[in-house]
């Protein structure tokens, strides 16, 4: 071989192997030798986090990733369904005062951060209450580019003022203090029943001040936490963790975690009883948004071991849809689990647009409402469910999703039932015809599925007499651009999906709360004073039948005013290899379940 | 000494080009590019928060200020930190460029090598059935969309519906064996697509050479085919061949690998760049665009010098 | 002068032998069977596209009446896609989209290339030439897909973004070839003669010189047409392509989901339609090139 070719080959080999030096170095540092039999779990997610700094972990993926490297005060129980809160870094449930304004939370002692050069001698120090205080304060410091401030804005005494005064970390905030090394005290302006849920979010993860100050913005790719795993590599394709050997030893009691042998016995989770998580030595989470690639990687056998099944595979893996039973060849090789998502998809009318929404002329306002109601009647949810979700989605009326306790299964489904004649009649009775009907601009992010949703929507509209030329698509190349226009109230029809941050209907009801209008998350810009009043009233109530009653009244208002075409909760099907002992979940528990995963010995 | 002076002159001449490219790219991708503001904000942002974030991201400064800042960064090779992950841009590039190189190099070499070989065979048997077959195959190769090829190959070779021989996606390379596993399918796909174009072009060049008088004369003298090939044909065809290869280098590295990297999940420079465009991650964009421009000018320069090495008739003036 | 003798043997003077190069080309082209076949197929597609334009057929491409993933049947010749749209209607409609893109981009970029190439060639060595060359260099050194993505973003999703981006990059090859040709032509006697008479430069360029580059322009236009259609496929896949209506690129990107569930109709038919047109056009373009190649003309 000519010498030049030889050196080129050498160069290539060098270049490729240089790509994984960091990992190998880490492995070597860890113990000098890679253990002969390490337990490894390769999970997958259908999207990628943009960063792993807790202060910016705004999407489902970032949340799941952050929760494994860091600690939060609370988490959700592994096996309990419906979801229940459990303690994580906190030593017990919070002590709450009578008036609901004062919370005292004790944290566990002897919890340490991982070893990192930012600490003295490179050894991770103990986690203290002040660390939690610091972590929340970061959300009120703009230099950190925080995204989670909305959870605690206007709720904690003195915190907003602290921000206005310049976010000086050496200054105390009256409502957020460390009473001593292990006690946190939070003082609220008003009762906030969902506070404890917010403390189980990635946003509330505990970070060490030294790391944030030393690494600055790089902290977003160099995590230093106290969670069950430590990150050894992170790029746009996957994140790799190894077991955090300094993680606190806490034997798991599956009964306390909500184990239900009737529905969960087949998973084999009894094998982890009494042992202390995490059970795997190495965790990889692959970010694969392309369905085809994800499915191929899963079925191959030696790549990822878990996935949320892409919709188009449902027919291939299910023998029946009601009840959901897998085909024999699937149930032989994999475990399967399914659940309705905790979230939903729906379509908002933006009431700021006088052609459809609020209008100073009462006559026009009335006609607008008829128009909206006609569109809602013309929307064929059953067909949408069939086309895109294999009929497995759960169509329900209103905005309280099936996943929350306040859901009312008895509520009439009239608002989601197809009624073409009714729609046509509404249009005719209110003076709407092909010429007078306004143009609808349907806004959505870029993507093949979104485009198909739009085309189907246009097809539906054609049947009730809405001319296809007047149903126009506006696709945004990036999610950011889409949000920008909805935040500036520039889109009349907004197609949305929402994932619950916590299992309380307040999370979806706030989507229609007046003051949350654009640029907030109420991009329907629904402004109903009666609704707002009820919202404020219920916001400070603890879960109770009275509160549920109020929630349902609010739900009915949204339905009656024809503000949104809502909604559908997708059914997710999870598959994982037989040698993996786990109860995976994509929502709410999505990050937390990973520490309880175990691999059966002697796998295939 | 002549070469050095020539090189310097060419480099200086390339500066307007670099300026032009950086200006155009900066204008498009950075100034008019996606607004990262709303990605950074959480839910329910207030107008004050929006203004704060914009200030953080530097959107409120005037155009010329931002542009000159950019040029400074380019000169010092300090691009700061990525807007989305916070990782230093330089380390992102150092991490991903070798991967992209490792990914495209085999395909590039193979595609051109095979192209030249097939072209030689075709040209030698001009108008014969071998020539027609090769040309027919080339046209077919040129007519199939790259996308179709990628999808088809992934199904056929990597998935459990097909041969299931290769990994579906990813880049988990720790040994030569791993490398071969991960790079094969992408390489096959790119060779398949490039071969058609390459073969046709090289054949045209070689045929042109072959019909020249001095070649005809040499043939008449009964010179051996091998020697004919090397001494007379290839050496003269070298200029257009090399030009083509050189010019395709910068393009292949950055945009050619884009589709492959997204589809096969390979964390190389193409994917990083495309992600940066769609998310509006300006520091990364600035770095990649600037470096591409510089690379292009350097390529021009090197090509010029190579010309001289191959064809002494070309002067350095 | 050697230039003059070259004129005699290679390049017939434009005023007298204008017909003969085209006449010879036509004759040669007619005898090239693959070329004629290619042309025939292209014409069939073109008629299909016209039909869609005038609303004669292909109108039901957006109706969602059919069953989900229906098989090929008498009612839906190629079956249906996930929301029940007729694949045959969509493939047919895409013909119009393809021709629109191909023609617009080919015509505009050829015009632009001819204009700038001629100017650069005629004023070769001056600052006009330098600027145009610089512009060419700049556009060539930005990777194509990144450029299109950037333009698409900059134009905020305007449906013409794709066309603008394509025209801005595709003119460069045409420009370069025209420039080269114009430099050669510039030195011919008839140009000197025209100058001596006092014909204004602009007229010289556009009425005398450029027509002599038509053979280059024609061939380049066909090449760009193919490149435009092929680029559209990838752009639509990336979400940057066609916004309204349907195209083969969109059909293929839709089908990436379906293919793994075992439904190939969408993928197969869009690919076949695309492949046949591109292949036919390539054959046509090749034959055209052969027919118009001055060296070969001299041979026959």
| Subunit contact C64:A386, Cβ cutoff 8 A | no
Residue predicted with more confidence, B166 or A182 = A182
| Subunit contact B40:A288, Cβ cutoff 8 A | no
What is the share, in percent, of chain A residues with pLDDT greater than 90? Answer: 37
Whole-complex ipTM: 0.74
Mean pLDDT, range C100-118, rounded to an integer: 91
Q: Which of C81-95, C129-143, C192-206 has the highest mean pLDDT?
A: C81-95
pLDDT recorded at residue A435: 87
| Subunit contact B140:C279, Cβ cutoff 8 A | yes
Using a CB–CB cutoff of 8 Å, tell me whether A482 touches chain C: no
pLDDT recorded at residue A179: 93
Closest CA to A237 of B251, B172, B73, B218: B172
| Subunit contact C138:B145, Cβ cutoff 8 A | no
Mean pLDDT, range B39-44, rounded to an integer: 61
Residue predicted with more confidence, A35 or A313 = A313
Nearest to C142 among B25, B278, B297 (CB): B25
Mean pLDDT, range B141-155, rounded to an integer: 81
Instruction: Please state which of the ranges A23-27, A387-391, B216-220, C203-207 shows the lowest mean pLDDT.
Output: A23-27
Parallel/antiparallel/unpaired status of strands A229-234 and A334-340: unpaired
pLDDT of B60 higher than 70:
no
Cα of C272 vs its chain's centroid, Å: 20
Using a CB–CB cutoff of 8 Å, tell me whether A484 touches chain B: yes
Q: Which chains touch B (3 or more CB pairs under 8 A)?
A: A, C
Residues B7, B13, B19, B20: is their CA dihedral positive or negative? negative
Q: Could you tell me which chain B residue has the CA closest to the CA of C134?
A: B17
Helix (H) or strand (E) holding A573: strand A571-577
Please check whether residue C167 is in contact with residue C108, taking contact to mean a CB–CB distance below 8 angstroms: yes
pLDDT tens per residue across span A501-535: 888 899 999 999 988 887 778 888 999 999 999 99
Q: Is C178 exposed, middle or buried (0-12, 13-18, 19+ CB in 10 A)?
A: buried
Alpha-carbon distance of C89 to C62, in angstroms, equals: 8
C77: closest CA of chain B, how far (Å) = 23
pLDDT recorded at residue A16: 44
Closest CA to A475 of C103, B31, C161: C161
- Which residues, numbered 57 to 96 in chain A, qualify as contacts with chain B under a Cβ-Cβ cut-off of 8 Å? 58
pTM for the model stands at: 0.80
Residue predicted with more confidence, B306 or A432 = A432
What dihedral angle (degrees, nearest 10) is formed by the CA atoms of B14, B19, B22, B27? -150
Using a CB–CB cutoff of 8 Å, tell me whether C278 touches chain B: yes
Q: Could you tell me which chain A residue has the CA closest to the CA of C80?
A: A387
| Subunit contact C146:B21, Cβ cutoff 8 A | no
Q: Could you tell me which chain C residue has the CA closest to the CA of A386?
A: C68
pLDDT recorded at residue B203: 84
Mean pLDDT, range A180-205, rounded to an integer: 92
Contacts of B306 (CB under 8 A, 6+ apart): B242, B246
Average of per-residue pLDDT values in chain A: 86
Using a CB–CB cutoff of 8 Å, tell me whether B197 touches chain C: no
B44: left (phi over 0), alpha (psi -120 to 50) or beta: left
Nearest to C68 among A291, A386, A477 (CB): A386
- Which residues, numbered 109 to 168 in chain A, qualify as contacts with chain B under a Cβ-Cβ cut-off of 8 Å? 142-143, 145-150, 153
pLDDT of A254 higher than 80:
yes
pLDDT tens per residue across span C170-213: 998 888 888 888 887 777 767 777 777 777 777 777 777 777 78
| Subunit contact B277:C278, Cβ cutoff 8 A | no
Average of per-residue pLDDT values in chain C: 79
Coil, helix or strand for A9?
helix
Closest CA to C175 of C141, C224, C126, C127: C224
Cα of A208 vs its chain's centroid, Å: 25
Mean pLDDT, range A308-329, rounded to an integer: 84
pLDDT recorded at residue C16: 47
Residue predicted with more confidence, A483 or C101 = C101
pLDDT recorded at residue B38: 63
A378: closest CA of chain B, how far (Å) = 31
Determine if the peptide bond prior to A567 is cis (ω within 30°): yes
pLDDT tens per residue across span B253-296: 655 577 788 777 788 887 787 777 766 677 787 787 777 777 77
pLDDT recorded at residue B147: 80
Q: Which of A168-182, A581-595, B63-77, C177-191 has the highest mean pLDDT?
A: A168-182
Banded model confidence at residue B313, pLDDT cuts 50, 70, 90: low
pLDDT recorded at residue A18: 44
Coil, helix or strand for A505?
coil
pLDDT recorded at residue A534: 94
Please check whether residue B310 is in contact with residue B235, taking contact to mean a CB–CB distance below 8 angstroms: yes
Q: Which of A76-85, B91-100, C64-73 has the highest mean pLDDT?
A: A76-85
pLDDT tens per residue across span A552-601: 999 999 999 999 999 899 998 999 998 888 888 888 878 898 999 998 87
Instruction: Please state which of the ranges A46-55, B230-239, C137-146, C258-267 shows the lowest mean pLDDT.
Output: B230-239
pLDDT of B16 higher than 90:
no
pLDDT recorded at residue B92: 83
| Subunit contact A296:B88, Cβ cutoff 8 A | no
pLDDT recorded at residue A447: 74
Using a CB–CB cutoff of 8 Å, tell me whether C258 touches chain A: yes
Parallel/antiparallel/unpaired status of strands A85-87 and A324-326: unpaired
Alpha-carbon distance of B130 to B136, in angstroms, equals: 10
Instruction: Tell me the chain A residues in contact with residue B170 when contact means C-beta distances shorter than 8 Å.
Output: 237-238, 286, 297, 303
Banded model confidence at residue B36, pLDDT cuts 50, 70, 90: low
Coil, helix or strand for C168?
helix
Helix (H) or strand (E) holding B198: helix B176-210
Residue predicted with more confidence, B173 or B197 = B197
pLDDT recorded at residue B230: 67
Banded model confidence at residue B35, pLDDT cuts 50, 70, 90: low
pLDDT of B25 higher than 60:
yes
A219: closest CA of chain B, how far (Å) = 7
| Subunit contact C146:B289, Cβ cutoff 8 A | yes
Token pair of B55 as six digits: 């200030």
Banded model confidence at residue B185, pLDDT cuts 50, 70, 90: confident
pLDDT recorded at residue A226: 93
Instruction: Tell me the chain C residues in contact with residue B255 when contact means C-beta distances shorter than 8 Å.
Output: 143-146
pLDDT tens per residue across span A256-310: 998 988 888 888 888 889 999 899 999 999 888 777 778 877 887 777 888 888 8
What is the share, in percent, of chain B residues with pLDDT greater than 70? Answer: 77
- Which residues, numbered 129 to 148 in chain C, qualify as contacts with chain B under a Cβ-Cβ cut-off of 8 Å? 134-135, 137-147
Banded model confidence at residue A23, pLDDT cuts 50, 70, 90: very low
Nearest to C143 among B143, B161, B292 (CB): B292
Instruction: Tell me the chain A residues in contact with residue C254 when contact means C-beta distances shorter than 8 Å.
Output: 448, 451-452
Banded model confidence at residue A31, pLDDT cuts 50, 70, 90: very low
Task: State the best of C150, C260, C266 to mutate against chain A, taking most chain A CBs within 10 Å.
Answer: C260
Q: Could you tell me which chain A residue has the CA closest to the CA of B34?
A: A481
Banded model confidence at residue A135, pLDDT cuts 50, 70, 90: very high
């Amino acid at each position: 071989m000519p010498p030049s070719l030889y050196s080129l080959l050498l160069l290539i080999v060098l270049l490729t192997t240089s790509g994984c030096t960091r990992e190998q170095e880490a492995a070597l540092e860890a113990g000098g030798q890679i253990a002969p039999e390490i337990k490894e779990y390769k999970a997958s997610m259908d999207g990628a986090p943009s960063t792993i700094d807790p202060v910016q972990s705004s999407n489902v993926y970032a949340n799941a990733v952050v929760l494994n490297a860091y600690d939060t005060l609370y988490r959700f129980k592994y096996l309990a369904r419906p979801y229940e809160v459990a303690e994580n870094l906190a030593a017990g449930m919070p002590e709450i005062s009578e008036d609901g304004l004062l919370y005292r939370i004790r944290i566990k002692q002897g919890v340490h951060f991982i070893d990192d050069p930012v600490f003295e001698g490179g050894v991770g120090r103990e986690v203290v209450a002040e660390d939690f205080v610091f972590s929340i304060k970061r959300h009120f410091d703009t230099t950190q580019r925080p995204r989670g401030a909305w959870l605690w804005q206007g709720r904690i005494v003195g915190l907003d003022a602290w921000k206005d005064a310049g976010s000086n970390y050496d200054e105390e905030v009256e409502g957020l203090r460390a009473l001593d090394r292990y006690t946190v005290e939070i003082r609220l302006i008003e009762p906030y029943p969902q506070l404890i849920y917010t403390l189980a979010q990635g946003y509330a993860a505990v970070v060490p001040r030294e790391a944030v100050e030393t690494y600055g913005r790089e902290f977003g790719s160099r995590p230093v936490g106290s969670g069950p795993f430590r990150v050894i590599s992170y790029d746009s394709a996957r994140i790799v963790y190894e077991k955090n050997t300094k993680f606190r030893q806490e034997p798991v009691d599956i009964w306390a975690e909500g184990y239900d042998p009737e529905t969960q016995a087949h998973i084999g989770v009894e094998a982890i009883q009494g042992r202390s998580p995490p059970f795997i030595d190495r965790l990889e989470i692959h970010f694969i948004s392309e369905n085809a690639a994800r499915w191929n990687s899963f079925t191959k056998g030696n790549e990822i071991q878990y996935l949320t099944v892409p919709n188009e595979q449902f027919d291939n893996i299910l023998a029946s849809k009601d009840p959901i039973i897998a085909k024999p060849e699937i149930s032989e090789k994999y475990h399967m689990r399914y659940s309705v998502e905790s979230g939903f998809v729906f379509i908002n009318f933006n009431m700021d647009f006088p052609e459809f929404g609020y209008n100073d002329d009462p006559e026009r306002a009335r006609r607008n409402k008829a128009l909206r109601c006609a569109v809602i009647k013309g929307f064929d949810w059953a067909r949408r469910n069939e086309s895109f979700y294999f009929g497995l989605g759960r169509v329900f009326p209103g905005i309280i999703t099936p996943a929350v306790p306040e859901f009312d299964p008895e509520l009439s489904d009239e608002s989601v039932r197809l009624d073409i004649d009714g729609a046509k009649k509404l249009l005719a009775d209110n003076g709407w015809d092909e010429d007078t009907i306004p143009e609808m601009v349907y806004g959505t992010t870029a993507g093949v599925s979104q485009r198909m949703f739009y085309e189907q929507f246009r097809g539906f509209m054609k049947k009730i007499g809405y001319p296809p030329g007047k149903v126009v698509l506006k696709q945004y190349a990036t999610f950011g651009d889409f949000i920008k226009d909805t935040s500036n109230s520039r889109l009349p029809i907004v197609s949305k999906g929402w994932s619950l941050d916590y299992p309380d209907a307040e999370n979806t009801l706030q989507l229609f709360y007046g003051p949350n209008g654009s640029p907030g998350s109420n991009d329907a810009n629904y402004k109903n004073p009666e609704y707002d009043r009820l919202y404020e009233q219920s916001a400070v109530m603890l879960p109770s039948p009275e509160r549920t009653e109020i929630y349902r009244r609010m739900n009915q208002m949204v339905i009656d005013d024809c503000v949104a075409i809502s909604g559908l909760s997708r059914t997710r099907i999870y598959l994982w290899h037989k040698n993996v002992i786990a109860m995976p979940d994509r929502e709410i528990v999505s990050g937390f379940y990973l520490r309880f995963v175990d691999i059966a010995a002697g796998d295939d | 000494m002549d070469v050095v002076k020539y090189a310097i002159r060419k480099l200086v001449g390339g500066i307007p080009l670099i300026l032009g490219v950086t200006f155009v790219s900066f204008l498009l991708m950075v100034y008019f590019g996606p607004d990262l503001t709303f990605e950074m904000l959480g839910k329910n942002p207030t107008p004050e928060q929006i203004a704060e974030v914009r200030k953080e991201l530097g959107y409120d400064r005037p155009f010329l200020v931002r542009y000159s800042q950019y040029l400074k960064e380019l000169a010092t090779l300090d691009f700061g930190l990525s807007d989305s992950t916070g990782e230093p841009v330089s380390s992102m590039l150092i991490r991903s460029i070798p991967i992209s190189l490792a990914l495209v190099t085999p395909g590039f070499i193979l595609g051109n090598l095979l192209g030249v070989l097939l072209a030689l065979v075709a040209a030698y048997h001009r108008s014969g059935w071998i020539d027609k077959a090769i040309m027919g195959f080339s046209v077919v190769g040129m007519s199939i969309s790259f996308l179709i090829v990628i999808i088809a190959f992934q199904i056929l070779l990597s998935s459990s519906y097909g041969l299931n021989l290769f990994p579906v996606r990813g880049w988990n390379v720790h040994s030569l064996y791993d490398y071969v596993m991960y790079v094969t399918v992408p390489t096959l796909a790119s060779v398949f697509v490039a071969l058609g174009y390459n073969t046709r072009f090289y054949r045209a060049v070689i045929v042109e050479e072959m019909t020249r008088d001095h070649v005809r004369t040499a043939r008449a003298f009964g010179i051996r085919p091998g020697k004919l090939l090397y001494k007379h044909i290839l050496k003269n065809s070298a200029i257009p061949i090399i030009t083509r290869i050189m010019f395709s280098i910068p393009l292949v590295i950055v945009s050619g690998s884009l589709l492959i990297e997204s589809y096969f999940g390979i964390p190389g420079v193409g994917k990083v760049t495309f992600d940066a465009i769609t998310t509006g991650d300006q520091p990364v964009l600035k770095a990649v665009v600037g470096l591409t421009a510089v690379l292009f000018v350097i390529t021009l320069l090197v090509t010029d010098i190579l010309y001289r090495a191959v064809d002494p008739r070309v002067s350095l003036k | 002068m050697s230039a003059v003798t070259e004129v005699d043997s290679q390049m017939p003077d434009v005023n007298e032998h204008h017909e003969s190069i085209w006449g010879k080309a036509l004759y040669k082209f007619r005898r090239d069977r693959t070329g004629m076949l290619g042309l025939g197929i292209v014409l069939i597609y073109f008629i299909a596209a016209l039909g869609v334009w005038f609303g004669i057929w292909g109108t039901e491409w957006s109706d969602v009446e059919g069953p989900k993933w229906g098989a090929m049947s008498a009612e839906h010749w190629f079956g249906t896609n996930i929301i029940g749209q007729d694949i045959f209607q969509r493939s047919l409609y895409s013909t119009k989209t393809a021709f629109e893109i191909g023609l617009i981009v080919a015509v505009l970029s050829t015009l632009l290339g001819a204009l700038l190439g001629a100017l650069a060639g005629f004023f070769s060595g001056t600052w006009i030439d330098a600027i145009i060359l610089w512009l060419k260099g700049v556009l060539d050194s930005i990777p194509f897909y990144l450029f299109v993505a950037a333009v698409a973003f900059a134009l905020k999703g305007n449906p013409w973004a794709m066309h603008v981006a394509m025209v801005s990059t595709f003119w460069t090859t045409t420009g370069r070839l025209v420039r080269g040709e114009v430099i050669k032509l510039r030195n011919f006697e008839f140009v000197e003669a025209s100058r001596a008479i006092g014909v204004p430069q602009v007229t010289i360029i556009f009425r005398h010189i450029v027509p002599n580059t038509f053979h280059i322009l024609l061939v380049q236009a066909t090449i760009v047409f193919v490149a435009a259609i092929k680029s559209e496929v990838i752009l639509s896949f990336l979400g940057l392509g066609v916004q309204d209506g349907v195209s083969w690129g969109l059909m293929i990107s839709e089908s990436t989901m379906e293919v793994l569930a075992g439904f190939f109709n969408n993928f197969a038919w869009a690919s076949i339609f695309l492949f046949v047109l591109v292949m036919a056009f390539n054959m046509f373009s090749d034959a055209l090139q052969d027919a118009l190649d001055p060296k070969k003309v001299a041979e026959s």
